[in-house]
Structure 1
Amino acid sequence: MSYVEDLIEREEVQKLAEFKQHRTATRLSHSISVSYLSYRVAKRLNGNARATARAGLLHDLFYYDWRDTKFDEGTHAYVHPRIAVKNAEKLTELSDLERDIIIKHMWLATIAPPKYKESYIVTFVDKYCAIHEGVVPSMRSMKKRVKQMFSYSA
């Protein structure tokens, strides 16, 4: 918490709670999950845990519904990291590492690969969290419905 407390308390970050990110997560809860899990992985791999935690928290610092908003400049996967970096720079000074983490976190959906191991960490943790927040609840719900169907037919 000491690495991100100055950011997490900011109104601009707290505002992310108003946006649904994935099925069961707000953009704020998603960003906190990415920040914390990325921090733990970076620490274990002797990476820069502070920069990873901070950039993980700020990687989706944008204020629109990504399902509805379209851009002339490119896809959401390309545009939103650039918006997030601009918004993050208004809150704090970013290192080159933090900037790379935020800009490149959509790698695989975008072309340019990360430059640092911490950027790879946030990239893959972000995907893990998105799957966990989106698919896992759907699977639980499906299992529950299947159970209910079989219990009614008995």
Structure 2
Amino acid sequence: MRLLTRVEIQRLVAEHGREVLEHEHMQIERGCYQHGNVTTYAHSIRVACLAVWMADRARLWRRVDLKSLIRAALLHDYFLYDWHDWDDGTHRWHGFTHGGAALANAHSDFELNEIERDSIARHMFPLTPMPPRYIEGYLVTLADKLSATKETLSLDRFNKPSRPR
């Protein structure tokens, strides 16, 4: 069985994530930085592509729901605010609380299945006490940690352009 190319993975994310990517609220994520100089929008796409890549390399296609994996990855940080902005301290616990905020926002904008809901809510494990219940959730969690680490440690983080709002 042949492995997916980067372009094929990007096409799968675009195809299965179209409803999410085209939603008007995803445009908010284009104007919010997540890690370093990477917007939440770009981070979410990176996580989706990496999660699909990992599922492909681990040959998990008989055990993974591709559409749910992609949608959960795209929505895992759908909290719709810039957590770096001053807010009198409500974002102080962002690492612990944003999974719930992302789930609430995603639930109000999209019809979610159980895999998607669980993967979004629990993607911050171990900061959140409950681990994901599905393979898709573990793939999103791992892809998020790897992407966040790379984005945070990148020297490009010092070249942050003005906000893309």
2:122–2:137 CA contact under 8 A, matched in 1: yes
Q: 78, 82, 103: which is aligned to 1:61?
A: 78
In structure 1, the residue matched to 2:29 is: 16
Residue equivalent to 1:101: 119
1:45 to 60, 74, 94: 60
Unaligned runs of 5+ in 2: 1-13, 160-165
How much has 1:90 moved relative to structure 2? Answer: 1.9
Deviations 1:63-104 (A, max 9, x none): 2232445349x8222321111111111221111100010001
Q: Secondary structure at the residue paired with 1:16?
A: helix
Output aligned runs, 1:1-154, within 5 Å: 1-43=14-56, 44-46=59-61, 47-67=64-84, 68-69=86-87, 70-71=89-90, 75-137=93-155
Contact map agreement 1:40 1:49 (CA 8 A) in 2 = no
Provide the residue aligned with 1:144 in structure 2: none
Which shifted more, 24-33 or 60-69? Answer: 60-69
Amino acid at match of 2:65: N
Percent of residue pairs identical: 35
Going by fraction, where is helix more abundant, 1 or 2?
1
CA distance in 1, matches of 2:96, 2:147: 19
Cα pair distance change 1:110/1:93, threshold 3 Å: same
Q: Give runs of ≥4 in structure 1 deviating > 3 Å.
A: 67-72, 138-141
> Matches of 2:70 and 2:53 in 1, distance apart?
9
Letter in 1 for 2:103: V
CA distance in 2, matches of 1:64, 1:92: 18
**Deviation of 1:109 (Å):** 1.6
Which has the higher relative contact order, 1 or 2, with Cα contacts under 8 A spaced 6 or more apart?
2
The amino acid that maps onto 2:81 is: Y
TM-score in terms of structure 2 length: 0.76
- Structure 1 residue runs of 5 or longer lacking an equivalent are 142-154
